[in-house]
Chain A
């Protein structure tokens, strides 16, 4: 129904999200909401803001859950999720009006609200649940990768970054061109084994997640020289012997 760009975008702007250091604090989600409620898709409507079922439009949501591996070891995962700006975005091709589209110049997937009819096909097509329907306005909304911030000449250079990225307290979020193998984000993703979410869906997401590093449950050094146990000076458990040995010993030399 709606076409993806005929030639692949020269740039593929996206996010690299480090699951090793995300602490699930929701800073990215709230700062995103704050920027975008006055941004391109303004407002990010909230329903019953002070009522019984408070619910609103968020472009970015954090899921915290527990998983268990085959060995039965469980871990707690903090998982931020927003639009992945897929190369083969099913939310675009399913759109009957052309409202959902992928930008040729940078690959950002956007919604043109003026021609969105609110049919929600795109939200059904997105395997990631990344789309957000604004009930009040009857249109679909979604992450814009802060398209009105990253290029914005009215902001200082430091602020020309997606809101979720510059605000992240742990520094778990990075932003750049993932089509350029020499970009810092590509290097970071390559070095850390960045992965695409649910590749079997064939959507070819641009965003990458960095997997948690292996836990250092044993020694601290990578060269594994640290002892698992200290060598006790006295073989037996007699503290008197140890104390006696200190009486005339210069320990602070």
Chain B
């Protein structure tokens, strides 16, 4: 105390408080990005979560979602005990039961179905990061009715990529942000994958030697920092890309040498309309496609080492009329219907801008080559003394995929990359191991076997390459409950989870006994057409029984879906369990090396819940599933999921985790199980990564060294080049079937559709909803996207994140609003052909004038998520899902209720929505509609949250020297002389 009462007390600031008792590493699960985290713990509570600087995905950074993990763990919506429904479905009336009873019930229900026909179980998982386990479990159980939620999410991106380049955007490929000179991003709504894109954009812009162009109806998020924003009209990206290709072809700004080596552009296509093999490649006796060699003046195998192939010209070869596939491609896109002038109005982008973008792309690709002085050997044994890069990189996501024309648009984007010769070159878009894989990868979907208590002979998913691979009966009718792999959506690689409830409730194509779901909010924002979907949950037969007899659901939180299910198996949070991010599944690799990772429990369990994956293995053992049971009938993985992660072998030596395999832990990729594997992962920060030598890092599709390595690691069957399929013969096979050729032909009602949409080269067509509705009546496109701080984040209405966004508004262009007499904050009806929803507007100028958009999944249903009933999420937040139909308008297509999905892949087309916007009557303003009855769910009414109040640490008294931190230090050091190179506050060459 100071002697002078008027003198201010000088504060002694604790500069070195003890932060934590313990720091544990793990992997984030606040979205699908899977960043490495360091969790600081105090008294078993989380003090602080930060990014792991050593982790290959995020390199120390952490987004808003990851940083709010504390509030995820602290959420009042966490389930605490198994629940058995006692009231009607939808009421939320449950009784708590013990795990013994829950497991007995689940075993009984699943066992009964399996004893009848394993296909009577529909097992659908949502944002599942353990699909290599869940898919394998489904196979062991014997059901073909399995998928995750990729069909709703973004299968068009996976399918478009895998059927063209053998890789795909996001998980199977990345832009080369270190070297690119021109980065174009289409339809990316602050999404996949969150931190790597942010890191990359920051790096590229800081380096300052490239251009960043975005093609997006909205200018929010990433789009705001682009050099150029092209506010395209939704669903027209395909036309925009075609116009660019049109310009490139006319100027011969196409990488012909690259196309000759790495693509099927010169392959000869049979050109004999009406013949059963019209449009297929002409092959030699070994099955190798042929090309016309201009020097040798004869047809030779496309696998020949040295060829000078023709890219155009009709020729007679082996008595067949053939043309190089490139001629088909060139003819199509040179057509005047795809000139910039012809597409400009439809796209909402002026023709001069399209021409300029084409010129800039060509300039970057061909005049700004990036060269790495690194010799490498291609798959034909030719040695190259350097790696020549065409530094144009492209990334695309939801804005492309969630349209009924998304598959073809995605293919068009990949073809553009191939034409520019930039695929997997320095500065281009690069594959991430274990990709590339053959185009498409080899596995095929397995049909139902109808054998009681019998595993399926193969996995339910796969990559059809001809009609014989479809999962249909002799009449061509669907055999999967979601109608995936049927003539309605032949390449639905990720299944069609969004159709399961409708199909099961209407018993079309048949009824099921048990629906088992995991982590999928099907009664709310993971479905289109919520009003009717809720009806499917509750639909009853005449005898009063539910049409979907039993529904088992596992989740960690009280979501809108919980009250609609019968038996709830409460899951753990990502901070409470072991988990694995496997290369058998959805890898976290980077373009320069393979990686996988684990989660470990960082906080102790404080309630009666179990890890879903362990529960699944336990159920498997109780059901006697072969892979999960020893010969004596005992459980094969009594230690649950971590036991499986270490000891399960898919093939000899191949397990869920690729690192530290073998008894001594000295093998990677393939090796015996290592009992100390998890310890090794934990020691290394819960991840494993293996950087490839530079000579393997590029041209992976045709780099012999890489291909040999990939074969050794078990990722590809043969170390042969992976040829880019610009012209896709597999698609043509489906079209030929629709034209009346072959044994397996589509039923009459689907013929025209298959013939139209299985074009071997990308086509553009108006999104179905736009084509079906009166566009004068519904003049606006309506989109929904997640805000960056919630993107792909599920599980709870997080106390911190909801302070940033707890209600959403409809963003509308100022000019459009003015014409409609609408001002900021007005309440409006947003009406589609399917229904209407009420919300408030926000006027902006950074949006395509014919488009409105809002944040998705902010609006919630009363009674869910532990929120008080006056929460803005309930009263003001709204979902567009209510007014998106899950089926196409009836009567337009022979009375068939086709899913509102891409006709090739079954991707849910929630971006096709058309609406009109009208101002509400004054008495209607103030609260959103539809307003559903509240569930009887738990409610948290705390008035204050003082998290961290008792966590101040004791000061140990020290004070370290300040070290400067420069964001993007390396790029800044390149751009600004004098700034020291390194990373963050670590200076290169400075050992301290």
Contacts and interface: CB of A to CB of B under 8 A. Distances in A.
Do the two chains bind? yes
Interface of A: 2, 11, 13, 18, 20-27, 29-31, 33-35, 37-40, 42-52, 54-56, 58, 64, 66, 68, 74-78, 97-98, 101, 103, 106, 110, 112, 114-115, 136, 147-148, 150-155, 157-163, 165-177, 183-185, 187-188, 191-192, 212-213, 215-222, 225-234, 237, 239, 242-244, 246-253
A13 B962 CA distance: 9
A167 B11 contact: no
Contact of A233 (B65, B250, B259, B875): B250
Given A51-B871, A220-B182, A158 B16 contact: no
Given A216-B211, A220-B360, A252-B309, A158 B60 contact: yes
Interface in B365-397: 367-368
B199 A169 contact: yes
Given A30-B789, A166-B965, A168-B61, A191 B959 contact: no
B342 to A, nearest CB: 11
B14 A40 contact: yes
B940 A50 contact: yes
Interface stretch (B95-103, B351-359, B542-550, B619-627): B351-359
Given A26-B64, A250-B294, A2 B8 contact: yes
15 contacts: A25-B190, A27-B66, A30-B801, A51-B868, A112-B9, A153-B958, A158-B986, A165-B965, A168-B61, A171-B61, A184-B964, A184-B979, A213-B205, A242-B249, A247-B313
A28 to B, nearest CB: 8
Contact of A253 (B67, B220, B308, B335): B308
B228 A216 contact: yes
Nearest to B952: A42
Nearest to B875: A52
A49 B799 contact: yes
Nearest to B330: A243
Contacts of A64: 220, 224
Contact of A169 (B49, B61, B355, B845): B61
A233 B16 CA distance: 70
A23 B219 CA distance: 11
B19 interface: yes
Contacts of B182: 220
Interface residues of B, number: 150
What does DSSP make chain A's interface, helix, strand, loop or mixed?
A: loop
Interface in B178-208: 181-182, 190, 194-195, 198-199, 201-203, 205-206, 208
Interface string B277-308: 00000000000000000110000000000001
Contacts of A188: 966, 972, 976, 979
A77 B224 contact: yes
Contact of A37 (B181, B295, B947): B947
B960 interface: yes
B985 interface: yes
The 9 residue pairs across chains A and B that have the minimum distance between CB atoms: A98-B8, A171-B967, A170-B202, A176-B964, A38-B948, A171-B968, A52-B870, A169-B198, A38-B951
Contacts, number: 413
Given A20-B225, A110-B11, A56 B803 contact: yes
B63 A226 contact: no
Interface of B: 8-9, 11, 13-19, 42, 47-51, 53, 58, 60-68, 70, 76, 181-182, 190, 194-195, 198-199, 201-203, 205-206, 208-211, 219-225, 227-228, 247-253, 256-257, 259-261, 266, 294-295, 308-313, 327, 330-331, 334-336, 339, 352, 355-356, 358-360, 362-364, 367-368, 788-789, 797, 799-804, 806, 844-846, 866-868, 870-872, 875, 939-949, 951-953, 956, 958-960, 962-969, 971-972, 975-976, 978-980, 984-986, 992
A49 B945 contact: yes
B456 to A, nearest CB: 42
B64 A25 contact: yes
A2 to B, nearest CB: 7
B360 A219 contact: yes
Contact of A101 (B11, B247, B875, B953): B11
A191 B976 contact: yes
In this complex, the member of B50, B223, B260 whose beta carbon has the largest number of chain A beta carbons within 10 angstroms is B50
A47 B944 contact: yes
